[in-house]
Amino acid sequence: MFAVLSPRFRSIENVQNMVDAAAVLAVVTCGITFVLLMGSIDLSAAGVMGASALTVSLLVANNRNDNDLGLLGIGVAVLLGCAFGCLSGLALVLLKVPSFMATLGVSAVGLGVATLMFAGVQPNISDAMLKGWAIERFLGLSYLTWIAATCVLVGWLLQRYTRLGRYAFAIGGAEEVLALSGVRVKPYKVAVFAVAGAFYGLAGVMVTSQLGAGLVQAGSGYDFSAITAAVVGGTLLTGGRGGVLHSAVGVLLVVVLTNGLVQIGVSPYWQGGVEGLIVVAAVAAAVIPQRRRNQVVK
């Protein structure tokens, strides 16, 4: 439809742009999908990405200190994301804090950590490899896009062929049954949040590569866009249905939609509004078949 409305939308350049823009969102969505499969929700992406963006920009070659760890720095940033995910998961299973509260708290902690590391001076990265990720192309697509594609593949393999992935589905479908049949659910819940955190950590690194600098706000907006993409792709917020490949399709849809709206002249400020409407509408549509009298919705 957008291809008819706007000639610029049809250009190869724009398709390349869209796929590149989808890269970071795809990685975030990959992570959040696992959490949504369990029927939980994760609002921590923005904070975790901010913290990992600052971490990686201070560990690779930059203008603030003499560190030049290269790949190791990237690894540390991903691990940090993983640790934040662990925190959310532990708060959920040990302290029994509902996931949206726990992750909201962890997001605040992540932003605080990022602000501490930022310390008023923006760290610009000079690491050639990390900067190259966003610029250099392979078969017409940037390295970041290939990384994202790899992430989707890894996410799909995790979901399809590991116990972690299949239990995530089961927890979302019927946690009580799973627990009663002797599965220790708690470690898997923490592990799922940790995996999601690692994906956010990598996404923070990718944003840093795009911007060439570590920013506290690196992840702002991605958390909600990722939920939108996952829901549009057919992953239910009630858990148990959907998957990484569904979400990948959702990411493309969301990116095409936002890009298309800009191309036909809608103000980019509306982007968040459109996403909000999509989420509410999609959740409402998913709930309609299950409507029953006296069903409790909090």
Partner 1 sequence: MPLIALLALVVALAIADPGFLTQRSLTAVARTAAPLIVLAAAATLIVLCGGIDLSIAAVASLSTVLLALWLPHLGGLATPAVILAAASIGAVQGVAHVLLRIPSFIVTLGGMSILSAIALVVSGAGTVRVVDDSTVKWLELYVGGYVPMSFVMALVVVALIALMLKLTPLRSWISATGYSESAARLAGTPVDLVKIGAFVVSGAGAGFAAIMLVSRQFSGGPTMADNLLLPAVAAIVVGGTAITGGHGSVWRSLAGALVVTLLRVGLPIVGVPSAYEQILYGVVIVIAVTLTLDWSKVSIIK
Footprint of partner 1 (CB under 8 A): 38-41, 43, 47, 91-93, 95-102, 104-109, 111-113, 115-116, 175-176, 224, 227, 237, 239, 267, 269-277, 279-280, 283-284, 287, 291, 294-298
Q: How many other CB atoms are found less than 10 A from the CB of residue 135?
A: 12
CB of 173 to partner 1, least distance (A): 12
Q: How many other CB atoms are found less than 10 A from the CB of residue 171?
A: 23
- Cβ-based nearer residue to partner 1, 61 or 104: 104
CB of 56 to partner 1, least distance (A): 19
Contacts 24+ apart (CB under 8 A), 56-61: 56/125, 56/130, 56/204, 56/205, 56/208, 56/214, 57/123, 57/124, 57/125, 57/208, 57/213, 57/214, 58/117, 58/123, 58/214, 60/125, 60/127, 60/130, 61/125, 61/126, 61/127
CB of 38 to partner 1, least distance (A): 8
- Cβ-based nearer residue to partner 1, 140 or 187: 187
- Cβ-based nearer residue to partner 1, 76 or 111: 111
- Cβ-based nearer residue to partner 1, 20 or 275: 275
DSSP state of 218: G
CB of 98 to partner 1, least distance (A): 6
- Cβ-based nearer residue to partner 1, 139 or 296: 296
CB of 81 to partner 1, least distance (A): 16
CB of 276 to partner 1, least distance (A): 3
Number of helical (H) and strand (E) elements in the chain, helices listed first: 13, 2
Angle (CA) 25 199 149, round 5°: 60
The answer to whether the CB of 186 falls within 8 A of the CB of 7 is no
| The residue to which tokens 């923005």 are assigned | 46
- Cβ-based nearer residue to partner 1, 4 or 298: 298
Half-sphere exposure of 28 (CA within 13 A, CB side): 33
CB of 90 to partner 1, least distance (A): 10
For the four alpha carbons of 135, 141, 145 and 149, in that order, the dihedral sign comes to negative
- Cβ-based nearer residue to partner 1, 52 or 145: 52
